[in-house]
Chains A and B, each alone.
Chain A
Amino acid sequence: MSDPFLELDALTLTYGDTIAVEALDFHMAAGELVALLGPSGCGKTTTMRAIAGLMRPAAGHIRLDGRDITRVAPNRRGVGLVFQSYALFPHLSVYENVAFGLRIARIRAEELERRTHAALGAVGLTDFAGRAPAELSGGQQQRVALARSIVMEPKLLLLDEPLSNLDARLRLEMRTELARLQREFGIAMLYVTHDQAEALALADRIIVMNDGKVEQVGTPEDIYDRPTSVFVADFVGFENTFRVERGALSGANGPVDAGFAVTEGARGLAWRPQDVTLGQGPHRGRIEGASYLGQSVEYLMSSPLGPIKAERPAHEKRHATGTEVTFDLPQARAVELARG
């Protein structure tokens, strides 16, 4: 990898005495689209605000394009931010919201008009230029916030859940649009989301955060297929995730033998619901509920391991609620987790 475009180095961010983000390290390359994924309250917005310069780190450094910007004022960083709360200017029209930064930069009138219209066009809001922000839907407001940032052609664009308020169709459209903007202008984007599908579809790389720290960094394939910690496995949909203690799976009431020899050093094992097989195997469980999903049936089971979720093709033998079944967590499909 070439010299990192953005580099966070042992960044610690605090609100008074509470530590929101602790010793965070990561970097991204120019033109890359990186998704920041993590549960609510893990410090995503805080990290964004620090990169934008809206809060001063308690410790650590931020480097952008070869320059240490830790102490550079936010309006001199060339970083754009699409706020989670939109932060539109309520007293200005949609057009003036988008033109705001260009006016501050004293861009000539024709160019200002051209760029503003282009940005409005890019987010599909040309017809809404004259409206006040309060007269727009949540999704439209979000798109104004997006246009307001991209019109400035920042070196780095930070997006804090920019699509969370859009309906599924619009979200897909905007996702494509963002990817196009990123390719076209080569803007590096750091993209916060709760939604793993969005992160997987959009990002070159994904950073998973938990409780103020980085859990795992990798390509979407890495994260999705090869999580390295119990937290990440849980988070990306390995609903059957177990810690490993002294060679056995830790169950609800003590250790349970996995039925195979667990690799030395593995701290956890995880299976997707599709990989759990029913009708044979070393474990016993009781069907607590079954939901027909069309192509498949999803079973919720109770077992000495705790709740188990299994998803089986609809043509397989069905199991009724209340019946006892044996099941298998096959070694071949297990993902080994190096961290607990």
Chain B
Amino acid sequence: MRHAGRALLVVVMLFLVGPFILICLTGLSGGETLAFPPDGLSLRWVIRVFEIESFRDSFALSLTLGIGATLIALILGIPAAYALVRYDVPGADAIRNLLTAPIIVPGIIVGLALLRHLVIPSGLGVTLALFLGHTALLIPYAVRVTAASLQNLRADIEDAAILLGASRIGAFVRVTLPNIKNGIMAAFIIGFITSFNEVPVSLFLTGPGVATLPVDMLLYMEYNYDPSIAALSGLLALMSLGVVLTAERLLGLSRYV
């Protein structure tokens, strides 16, 4: 029983993690095409990734989008979560369902809907639609993580602060916020990573010179069969790893996933 279990775990973990190791090796290939084993090791494809201008642009877009959309989602989501946990909001169940809708609606539909019924009729830029779609997608996470942090916090500490002279907002800022800070930071990191890696919503929301990094990678891959995508994938994996490990150190991120 024990041995079988251990063998299974090795196989499963190889299945989950093995491909990354291979892709990192492939990204370090010295050859012209994607192959295994790689034709010698070199950094030429890693360097090449940074030379491709569209990757630089789409990386910048994805970064701004991830940070911006997560911030807006938190600004909208935190008050909503607070009200849903602490106040007796009329129609709370309906509102809760509405706020989780973006998780249930497949992303590609959202992208298409925004393209056809917002971008095209209004003439607004795709970038704005990207922000809109990503923010909507992230609001459910922002609400859920904040609500969970609030539920773990006694409600009466705010009352205590008010009796000691604080205003309602003062009590929130001085007493509640510091205690849910970690949850909010975790929500930020999870939101950022979700947005940064998101494909379906962003798929249709492309324009001349505008595409998020993952979509740009998909487009590039259609016409190129060189190891640069492998190199970039490896880099992205390492970046995620770095962010997640740092966050885990600082916040214990895995409690919020």
| Residue ranges of A at the interface with B (Cβ–Cβ < 8 Å) | 16, 49, 52-54, 74-75, 79-81, 83, 85, 87-91, 100-101, 104-105, 148-149, 152
Contact = CB atoms under 8 A, between A and B. Distances in A.
B161 A80 contact: no
A152 B165 CA distance: 9
B164 A104 contact: yes
Contacts of A105: 165
B159 A54 contact: yes
Contacts of B175: 89, 91
Contact of B164 (A53, A54, A91, A152): A152
A232 B203 CA distance: 74
B162 interface: yes
B249 interface: no
B93 interface: no
A190 B160 CA distance: 17
Contact of A75 (B153, B156, B167): B167
Interface of B: 88, 153-154, 156-157, 159-167, 170, 174-175, 178-179
A49 B153 CA distance: 19
B165 A104 contact: yes
Contact of A91 (B156, B170, B178): B178
20 contacts: A16-B88, A52-B163, A54-B163, A75-B163, A83-B156, A83-B160, A87-B157, A87-B159, A88-B160, A90-B153, A91-B178, A100-B161, A101-B164, A104-B166, A104-B170, A148-B160, A148-B164, A149-B163, A152-B164, A152-B165
Nearest to B180: A91
B163 A74 contact: yes
A81 B162 CA distance: 10
B235 to A, nearest CB: 38
B154 to A, nearest CB: 6
B159 to A, nearest CB: 5
Contacts, number: 62
A173 B156 CA distance: 27
B156 A87 contact: yes
Most buried by B among A16, A52, A81, A87: A87
B160 A87 contact: yes
Nearest to B88: A16
Given A85-B154, A88-B157, A104-B170, A80 B179 contact: no
Nearest to A76: B165
B162 A74 contact: yes
B163 A80 contact: yes
A89 B165 contact: no
Contacts of A52: 159, 163
Contact of A101 (B88, B165, B178): B165
Most buried by A among B159, B164, B165: B164
Given A89-B175, A91-B179, A149-B163, 9 more contacts: A49-B159, A74-B162, A81-B160, A89-B157, A101-B164, A101-B165, A104-B166, A148-B160, A152-B165
B109 to A, nearest CB: 40
Given A87-B156, A100-B161, A75 B166 contact: yes
A105 B159 CA distance: 16
Nearest to A52: B163
A294 B139 CA distance: 69
Contacts of B164: 75, 100-101, 104, 148, 152
Nearest to A90: B179
A81 B179 CA distance: 22
A85 B174 CA distance: 19
A160 to B, nearest CB: 10
B165 A87 contact: no
A75 B160 CA distance: 10
A163 to B, nearest CB: 18
Contacts of A83: 156, 159-160
Contacts of B161: 89, 100, 104
A81 B157 CA distance: 12
A75 B163 CA distance: 5
Contacts of B88: 16
A279 B78 CA distance: 74
Most buried by B among A53, A74, A88: A74
